[in-house]
């Protein structure tokens, strides 16, 4: 069996790498067609990826993606499509930034811990609305979360503009009040690599334990896999829907924390980095909802984006990276589908073979 497991892992890894290579080839063709040298572009990115600063930047960018990937994957495991990560982390970031300024009396570690708890609760609460709507009213979570994204953006903008605006001097950079230093997440490398990277790894680890190793995770996966069978076996799918979405939202709450607690130390409507929720879907897909896969694909996306910042210097539009990312996701879906089928078929053949073999040994004709 071990051999088979290894083979599965091998095929998965190979297919993901193939997808990435395929994406690079496609983008190379696009570059050629637009009269640019792909080798020059990739060389520039490759050289950039060798720089320490770019590597830190890649990790910095990967950190929120790991949270987002886990949040989305938690949903996927329950066969739920949480598109609402986007709104969940925005609400969480705003509320955390506000709460963070009000609890400055706490000592540093506790201050940060409370902030993180607030972020989780807010993310979970916002996701909980979609969960409630699905369980009580049968509203599809995709629709509910898309709507909630729009509402979250408007609600956060309104709250921020109406109650929490703060500016220094003649600055146009309107933010919430700055969080006192005790509420900051310390940097690992000053101004280059924040401590949230460690938090992200811990969260991915927790995701692995909870989803893949715990009884709760088993029920979650069972419900996601075949909810009729799970229900028939006594697992309440409503409860699983609610729990999965709450957990997903709670993890989503972390996404904006690196920016809020590690970098700008405040929330601002216009400076807020959005779109990570959508990228998280890509990360979860590319990583096949597996913890290691999520970490690796987040790092890959981070590295692509980080090394792309150099492309402007050689007059290549950075959009090429977005094309690479898009093609990677598309080809991963296609390649995974194909390789998955192949592995399934192999497994089935092997099982049949083993049974036949077993029967012949017993002297029974198959």
Partner 1 sequence: MTTAEPNTEQPYAVELEGIEKRFPGVIANHDVSLKVRKGTIHAIVGENGAGKSTLMNTLYGMHQPEAGTIHVNGQQVHFKSPAEAIAVGIGMVHQHFMLADNLTVLENVILGAEPARRGVIRHAEGTAKVAALAKQIGAHVDLDAPLSALGVGQRQRVEILKVLYRGANILILDEPTAVLVPQEVDELFETLKVLVAGGATVIFISHKLDEVLAVSDEITVIRQGTTVGTVTPDSITRSRLGEMMVGSELPKPIPRVTKIGAAVRLEVNGASAKVVGPGSQKYVFQDIDIDVHEGEIVGVAGVEGNGQFELCEGILGLMPLTAGTIVLDGNDVTHETVRHRKDAGIGYIPFDRHREALMLSSPLWENTMLGRESQPKFNIGPLINVRGSQADCREIIHDFDVRTPGEDVPAFALSGGNQQKLIVGRELVNNPSVLIAAHPTRGVDIGAQNAIWARLRTARDAGMGVLLLSADLEELIALSDVIVVMFDGMITARLTPAQATPELLGLYMTGTRQEAAA
Partner 2 sequence: MRYSKRLRVASLAVVLGLAAAACGSSAKTTSTTATTKGGTATTAATAGSAAGATTAGSTAGGTSSGGTTFGGKLPDCFGNPTGTVTKGSKAGIAYDTGGRGDGTFNDSAARGADAAKTGLGVTIDELEAKTGDDRNPNLTTLSGNGDNPIIAVGFLFETDLLKIAAANPKTMYGIVDDVPPGANANIFSLVFAANEGSFLVGAAAALKSKSGHIGFIGGQDIDLIHNFEAGYDAGAKAVNSKIIIESKYLGAAGDNAAWTSPDKAKEIATGWYTSGADVIYSAAGGSGNGTIDAAVAAGDGKWAIGVDSDQYLTATPAQQKHILTSMVKHVDVATYDTIRAVGQGATKGAVCTFSLANDGVGYATSGGYVDDIKAKLDGYKADIISGKIVVPAK
Binding mask 298-337 for partner 1 (x = CB under 8 A): ----------------------------------------
Q: How far apart are alpha carbons 237 and 223 in whole angstroms?
A: 6
Which segment (66-74, 191-199, 211-219, 329-337) binds partner 1 by CB under 8 A?
211-219
**Residue labelled with tokens 């201050």:** 111
- Contact between 214 and partner 2 (CB under 8 A)? no
- Using only C-alpha atoms, the chain has a radius of gyration, in whole angstroms, of 23
**Residue 15 · residue 21 · CB < 8 Å:** no
- Contact between 236 and partner 2 (CB under 8 A)? no
**Residue labelled with tokens 């509402």:** 151
Element (H, E) at 123: helix 108-137
Helix (H, G, I), strand (E, B) or coil at 331: helix
Q: Which of 11, 19, 7, 4 is nearest to 300 (CA)?
A: 19
Q: Which of 237, 250, 239 is nearest to 126 (CA)?
A: 250
Which position among 228, 313, 315, 363 is part of the footprint of partner 1 (CB under 8 A)?
228
Which position among 171, 172, 232, 361 is part of the footprint of partner 1 (CB under 8 A)?
232
Cβ 10 to partner 1, closest distance in Å?
17
**Residue labelled with tokens 């909870």:** 210
* Residue 233 CA, distance from chain mean position: 31
Which position among 150, 158, 350, 351 is part of the footprint of partner 2 (CB under 8 A)?
158
**From partner 2, partner 1, none, interface partner of 360 (C-beta below 5 to 8 A by class):** none
Residues in contact with partner 2 by CB under 8 A are 53-54, 57, 60-61, 76, 79, 81, 83, 142, 157-158, 160-162, 165, 168-173, 191, 259, 263-264, 269-275, 278-279, 281-282, 285, 305-306, 309-310, 312-313, 318-319, 321-322, 325-326, 329-330, 333, 336-337, 340-341, 344
């Amino acid at each position: 069996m071990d051999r088979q497991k290894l083979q599965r892992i091998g095929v998965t890894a190979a297919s993901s790498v193939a997808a990435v290579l395929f994406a690079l080839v496609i983008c190379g063709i696009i570059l050629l067609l637009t009269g640019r040298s792909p080798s020059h572009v990739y060389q520039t990115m490759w050289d950039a990826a060798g720089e320490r600063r770019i590597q830190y930047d890649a990790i910095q960018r990967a950190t929120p993606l790991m949270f987002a990937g886990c949040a989305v994957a938690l949903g996927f495991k329950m066969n739920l499509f949480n598109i609402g990560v986007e709104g969940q982390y925005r609400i969480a970031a705003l509320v955390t930034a506000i709460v963070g300024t009000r609890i400055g009396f706490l000592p540093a570690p506790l201050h940060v811990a409370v902030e993180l708890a607030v972020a989780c609760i807010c993310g979970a609460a916002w996701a909980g609305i979609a969960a409630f709507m699905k369980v009580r009213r049968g509203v599809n979570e995709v629709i509910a979360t898309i709507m909630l994204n729009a509402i979250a953006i408007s609600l956060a903008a309104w709250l921020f503009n109406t109650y929490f605006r703060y500016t220094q001097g003649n600055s146009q950079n309107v933010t919430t009040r700055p969080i006192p230093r005790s509420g900051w997440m310390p940097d690992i490398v000053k101004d280059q690599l924040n401590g949230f990277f460690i938090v992200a790894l811990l969260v991915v680890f927790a995701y692995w334990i909870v989803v893949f190793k715990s009884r709760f995770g088993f029920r979650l996966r069972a419900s996601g896999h075949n909810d009729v069978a799970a229900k028939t076996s006594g697992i309440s799918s409503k409860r699983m829907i609610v729990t999965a979405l709450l957990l997903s939202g709670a993890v989503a709450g972390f996404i904006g924390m690196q920016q809020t607690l590690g970098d700008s130390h405040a929330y601002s409507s216009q400076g807020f980095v959005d779109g990570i929720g959508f990228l998280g879907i890509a990360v979860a897909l590319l990583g096949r909802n597996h913890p290691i896969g999520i970490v690796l694909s987040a790092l890959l996306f981070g590295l692509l984006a980080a090394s792309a910042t150099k492309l402007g210097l050689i007059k290549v539009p950075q959009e090429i990276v977005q094309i690479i990312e898009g093609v990677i996701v598309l080809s991963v879906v296609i390649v995974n589908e194909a390789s998955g089928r192949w592995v399934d078929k192999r497994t089935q053949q092997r099982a049949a073979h083993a049974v036949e073999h077993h029967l012949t040994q017993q002297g029974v004709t198959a």
